[in-house]
Homo-oligomer: A and B are copies of this chain.
Amino acid sequence: MPPKPTLSVAIVGVGLVGSELISQLLAIQAPNPFRLVSLTSSRYTLFAADGLGVNAGSWASALSASSATPNLPVLAEQLAKLEAAVLVDNTSSQDVAELYPEFLKRGVHVVTPNKKAFSANQQLYDAILRASRETGARWLNESTVGAGLPVVQTLKDLVATGDKVKKIEGVFSGTMSYIFNNFSTANPGGPAFSSVVRVAREKGYTEPHPADDLNGADVARKLAILARSIPSLQNALPEGYTSVQTRSLVPQALGSVSSGAEFVDRLPEFDVEFEKLREEARAEGSVLRFVGVVDVENGIVKADLEKYPTTHPFATSLGGSDNIVMFHTERYSPRPLIVQGAGAGAAVTAMGVMSDLLKLVL
């Protein structure tokens, strides 16, 4: 067994997830299989083929002292010259995502929690697959779904080992999980929808504008990523996440409200509607959950508000802002394989990124 070459790591995006990842990366004990060769923020960039020589206390000031400005096409060329290199994209930028094929074509791996590339149109996705196939460079995206939870790899393993996935069903948004775990329980009554959303926003569980969670797009993107990992659905979503049947919970009248604060202030006008849905569910002995479904047998991919009996794991087992994912397969039948836990947050997202990086060196 010849020793594997040290993997050169270029990190783009040094916000919450990026900073946490840098901590995890620099904390690895010798012999460290990684060498940090580049950091890029929205304003600055650093590159040194032999390693930046920074530590947990110095990287941020070194980066902001740089005189170089970000240039990802140049970075791709720089990384291509190294023996083994990986781009880690911690942004949520569509522009960065669209450059993945350029890195992969040059033999540079891509690891990312950024959902954009894999949930956009088929052209970009196909370009990623093609570039990866050409050079053998890999793209790994465990933390795009469920953050550090083993969801993407589990699905890949099921598929790669010849299991037949019949249906994937889950609560894929920590925000939606929190909102409905609090809004709709087995008990009668409960808080108004708007007040749950307001509290969630105050706790930082929603995006600054809650409509960015309530529109279901985040769930639809995750479903697109999972669906495309299943051979029969690889081309089923030509426009990516916008091809997913998605129920938006944003009231039509509030669709054009651009301020998050105003949105929350006006949401009580629609409490009666949500209350009606909650009561309908309760009358059937059910609770409401905003779920994602990939129904392979019927070719349906949808993000929707559904009712589940109060004895169902989505009602009994969920709490906080947990994600839960059930894989119904030929082997895991009649009882599914289930993964559950926190599906958002910088530490667990960085952990998912880090576990992908470890796959490249172990």
Residues of A at the B interface (CB closer than 8 Å) are 1-4, 23-24, 27-28, 84, 107, 135-138, 148-150, 153-154, 157-158, 160-163, 311, 313, 316-317, 319-320, 322, 327, 331-332, 334-342, 345, 347-348, 350-351, 354-355, 358-359, 362
Q: How far is the CA of A231 from the CA of B84 in the complex (A)?
A: 29
- A359:B358 contact, CB within 8 angstroms: no
- A331:B347 contact, CB within 8 angstroms: yes
- A341:B332 contact, CB within 8 angstroms: yes
| Minimum CB distance partner of A318 in chain B | B335
Q: How far is the CA of A3 from the CA of B84 in the complex (A)?
A: 13
Q: How far is the CA of A186 from the CA of B141 in the complex (A)?
A: 41
| Minimum CB distance partner of A151 in chain B | B150
| Distance between A187 CB and nearest chain B CB, rounded to angstroms | 13
- B24:A161 contact, CB within 8 angstroms: yes
- B153:A150 contact, CB within 8 angstroms: yes
From B3, B84, B161, B355, contact of A161 by CB (8 A):
B355
Q: How far is the CA of A148 from the CA of B348 in the complex (A)?
A: 23
What residues of chain B lie closer than 8 Å to A354, measured between beta carbons? Answer: 157, 160-161
What residues of chain B lie closer than 8 Å to A84, measured between beta carbons? Answer: 1
| Distance between A211 CB and nearest chain B CB, rounded to angstroms | 27
| Minimum CB distance partner of A340 in chain B | B338
Q: Nearest 4 A-B pairs (CB), nearest first?
A: A337-B341, A1-B136, A157-B355, A338-B340
From B138, B157, B320, B335, contact of A341 by CB (8 A):
B335
- B1:A107 contact, CB within 8 angstroms: yes
Q: How far is the CA of A86 from the CA of B135 in the complex (A)?
A: 25
A-B contact pairs, 30 of them (CB 8 A): A1-B136, A1-B137, A3-B136, A4-B136, A23-B162, A24-B161, A24-B162, A148-B161, A148-B331, A150-B150, A150-B154, A157-B354, A161-B358, A163-B347, A313-B316, A313-B317, A316-B316, A317-B317, A317-B338, A320-B334, A322-B335, A331-B348, A331-B351, A332-B341, A335-B341, A337-B339, A337-B340, A337-B342, A338-B339, A339-B340
Interface-centre pick from A153, A331, A345, A347 (highest chain B CB count, 10 A): A331
- A150:B339 contact, CB within 8 angstroms: yes
Q: How far is the CA of A149 from the CA of B327 in the complex (A)?
A: 11
What residues of chain B lie closer than 8 Å to A136, measured between beta carbons? Answer: 1-4
| Distance between A297 CB and nearest chain B CB, rounded to angstroms | 19
| Distance between A139 CB and nearest chain B CB, rounded to angstroms | 11
| Distance between A336 CB and nearest chain B CB, rounded to angstroms | 7
| Minimum CB distance partner of A331 in chain B | B347
- A335:B317 contact, CB within 8 angstroms: no
| Distance between A276 CB and nearest chain B CB, rounded to angstroms | 29
| Distance between A343 CB and nearest chain B CB, rounded to angstroms | 10
| Distance between A20 CB and nearest chain B CB, rounded to angstroms | 10
What residues of chain B lie closer than 8 Å to A317, measured between beta carbons? Answer: 313, 316-317, 338
| Distance between A79 CB and nearest chain B CB, rounded to angstroms | 12
- B340:A319 contact, CB within 8 angstroms: no
Q: How far is the CA of A311 from the CA of B153 in the complex (A)?
A: 30
| Distance between A49 CB and nearest chain B CB, rounded to angstroms | 18
What residues of chain B lie closer than 8 Å to A313, measured between beta carbons? Answer: 316-317
